[in-house]
Amino acid sequence: MGTGESTTTEAATETESARARATRGLDRVGGRRIALYLVLLALIVLYLSPLWSGFTTSLKTAAGFATTTPITPPLPEYVTTEAWLEAWGRMRFAMVNSLVFVLPATVLSAFLGSLAAYGLTKIDWRGQIAILLLFLIGVFIPYQSVLVPLRQFWTIVDLPSLLAFSSTLAARSDLIALAITHTAYGIPICTILFRGYYLTIDDDIVEAAKLDGASSIRIYRRIILPLSKPMFAVTLIYQFTNIWNDLLFALVLVRTSRNFVATQALNELQGAMVGQYNLQMAGAFIVALPTLIIYVVFGSQFAKGLSGESGG
């Protein structure tokens, strides 16, 4: 009887000791988790503070700047939406101009990059390495190095004269030149992105289709293209963001104010003598809105494409 009681006591002691260790372990885990959350919260505040500062600035009147710091919300009597209304009124036509050339340039560069990557991964032919090297070189060519020859090229082409049969197209020739330029400039990076993705697709699928008598175009249309949805999301978002935010090519190729794009219109919002900071901040948020919408719409597919998951 004494031995049984002793054994029971030892078991109870061990159980209590195990519970104590578990409690200490949970306390340590809980402390680490709290510390992690605090770090994440600090990072969120750090990264969002410029956006918050810009948004509050866009809602302030001129007098509001003198009474509050940039990150401090304006007092109720200093809140106004006039800057947003004025910015939209001055930029709405430029926003439409940007959509006119950004959408086709984005879609074309992604599609042509997909085709080129398919030819460089799933079709065997001589000279693939040399062509791939050219695409790699194209990725690393900076915008600044092509500005002069680019301007000379479009001057020689004289696009308005070529489009003289249509007054509408001739008037929009600057936007057409921008679309073609960004399409050509975007093909190399889209090709490299798609090539890396297509290398993860099992070659046995393509070989089975070839044994069934499918042509290269049919294989691309029926097999490769449906599997490419995640990577299309990645390239479309990447290209749309880059092209939409570009100012350099627009400054070189756009010759008339009626063809100004969004970034040019935003640049025009800066005052000549006195900086209208609320107007500029409102314009910046308006210009950023389309890219935000694109990320929200294609966000899940974008994550799949970055992780290398197929769209099948």
Tokens 């756009």, residue? Answer: 254
Q: Average pLDDT for residues 272-276, to the nearest whole number?
A: 65
Residue 55's nearest CA partner among 78, 76, 71 is 71
Q: For the residues of 6-37, what is the DSSP string, one character each?
A: HHHHHHHHHHHHHHHHHHHHHHHHHHHHHHHH
pLDDT at 278 over 80: yes
Q: Which of 31-35, 116-120, 300-304 has the lowest mean pLDDT?
A: 300-304
Is the full-model pTM beyond 0.85? no
Please report the pLDDT score of residue 312 as a whole number.
Answer: 46
Least confident of 36-50, 135-149, 293-307: 293-307
In angstroms, rounded to a whole number, what is the distance separating the alpha carbons of residues 238 and 196? 16
- State the pLDDT confidence band at 110, using cuts at 50, 70 and 90: very high
The answer to whether 290 touches 261, Cβ cutoff 8 Å, is no
Report whether pLDDT(21) > 70: no
Between 250 and 29, the higher pLDDT residue: 250
Structural contact between residues 59 and 81, judged by C-beta atoms closer than 8 angstroms: yes
Residue 252's pLDDT band (boundaries 50, 70, 90)?
A: very high
**pLDDT value for 311:** 47
Q: What is the mean pLDDT of the chain?
A: 84
- Gap between the Cα atoms of 200 and 231, Å rounded: 12
Average pLDDT for 132-149? 89
Q: Report d(CA 269, CA 55) in Å as an integer.
A: 16
Q: How do the domains of the chain map onto residue ranges?
A: 2-78, 82-307
Q: Is the pLDDT of residue 293 over 70?
A: yes
Confidence of residue 55 (pLDDT cuts 50, 70, 90): confident
Q: Number of helices and strands (H, E) in the chain? A: 16, 0
Mean pLDDT of all residues in 192-217? 88
Q: Which residue has the higher pLDDT, 207 or 274?
A: 207
109 close to 239: Cβ distance less than 8 angstroms: yes
- When pLDDT is cut at 50, 70 and 90, the band that residue 52 belongs to is confident
CATH 1.20.1600.10 fits 82-307, yes or no: no
